[in-house]
Amino acid sequence: MTTTSMTTTMTSSFPAEILHRAAALLEQRRRPLLISHPRPDGDTIGCALALRLALLQIGSQPLLACVHPIPENVAYLPGAETYVSDVPEDVDIDLVIAVDMSDLSRTGGIYKDAWCGKFPLLVIDHHATNTAFGDVNLVDPDAAATALPLAALIDALGIPLTGDMATCLLAAVLTDTRGLRTSNTTPEVLRFVGQLIEAGGDYAGVMEKTLDSIPYRQMRGWAVALDRLQLDGQLAWATFPLAEKIALGIEDHDDLDLGNLLSRVAEAKVMATFLEMRDGTVKVSLRSRPGYNVAWIAKVLEGGGHHQAAGCSVTGDLDAAQARVLPLARQELAQHPGEGLGAADSATFARVSARR
């Protein structure tokens, strides 16, 4: 087993007092419940799995829960098979840990009201919109992924990093930075990734299995979404009707990673995807180029996220959701007058087909 210590510069930006309080909670409590957010991504899953492995080393018995199934591209990570989709209110736990989520509603109902004041709540996160809803909030909004504050915590506990833990953390950081592409991919992030590889993390495996493996169903879904792609000036968006999801056998918890697909439209500064759900809501994913902020749009609509990647759920049909979100997206674009394309150029790029 390869092990390494993470005594690094990573911890330096974090208030030592919060790290120590979080570490003390993990040392005192032996039956923590780790919750990953709905429509889970590599960060929430990779972090919970890395923390599970770390806590097993100090004799804890962590329990992992997520309301939605674990996506194929992270299901191979060690411990992914131990996730449960819910727990009863009287479950035998003594600590709750919210992983990679900005507010309590993001546990998807796994957190039970009766636990409030009974078990301490530890929040490990990096969302700009985090509401500090825990008793201890290990939240670094400057971090590219929750994996960074989590690694600092594991280091503070003095737990050596194994190859398996490093692989889980690689899945987390490589997912949230879209393969080290995002503007928050700092030298610190690259050093962190280097340390994870040195610790025995399977970088090539994560790149291949997590980032470069798209299920056929998802690719077919991309075909539908791309056929419906629209561009108006610097705003790109696509809608995905429920009927198309049903035809392809796509469940509501599967967002097809459409937000990240659209984030690459060259002409666009702000991108939005609209997926119609079976419960009469529309799941909205927002993305933006560096310097453009979509977190406030999601927040206005009772969602949350980061400046460049945020989301929310809106009640109503696809037309109603577009009518609420697109004007806000245009408002953000209007904050940056004179940048990018002129009116004539954007007209040339506009593709609005009669079918829509």
Q: Name the one range near ligand 5GP by CB under 6 A: 58-66, 153-161, 241-249, 310-318.
A: 310-318
Q: Do residues 39 and 68 make contact, with C-beta atoms less than 8 angstroms apart? A: yes
Query: Which residue do the tokens 């009766």 mark?
Result: 114
For residues 19 and 154, give the distance between their C-alpha atoms in angstroms, rounded to a whole number.
10
Per rule CB under 6 A, is residue 98 in the interface with ligand 5GP? no
DSSP letter assigned to residue 110: -
Q: Do residues 175 and 139 make contact, with C-beta atoms less than 8 angstroms apart? A: no
Sequence-separated (6 or more) residues with CB below 8 Å from residue 59: 30
Per rule CB under 6 A, is residue 303 in the interface with ligand 5GP? yes
Per rule CB under 6 A, is residue 106 in the interface with ligand 5GP? yes
Sequence-separated (6 or more) residues with CB below 8 Å from residue 93: 31, 32, 33, 63, 87, 119
Least CB distance to ligand 5GP at residue 36 (A):
11
Binder of ligand 5GP out of 36, 263, 285, 308 (CB under 6 A):
285
Least CB distance to ligand 5GP at residue 327 (A):
19
Q: Name which of ligand 5GP, Mn ion, none residue 311 binds, using a CB cut-off of 5 to 8 Å depending on partner kind.
A: ligand 5GP
Least CB distance to Mn ion at residue 22 (A):
17
Sequence-separated (6 or more) residues with CB below 8 Å from residue 335: none
Least CB distance to Mn ion at residue 42 (A):
8
Give the per-residue contact string, 15-44, with ligand 5GP (x = CB under 6 A; - = no): ----------------------x-x-----
What is the radius of gyration, based on Cα positions, of the chain?
Answer: 20
Size of the site for ligand 5GP (CB under 6 A): 18
For residues 100 and 9, give the distance between their C-alpha atoms in angstroms, rounded to a whole number.
22
Q: Which spans of this chain sit near ligand 5GP (rule: CB under 6 A)?
A: 37, 39, 102-103, 106, 127, 255, 259, 285, 303-306, 309-313
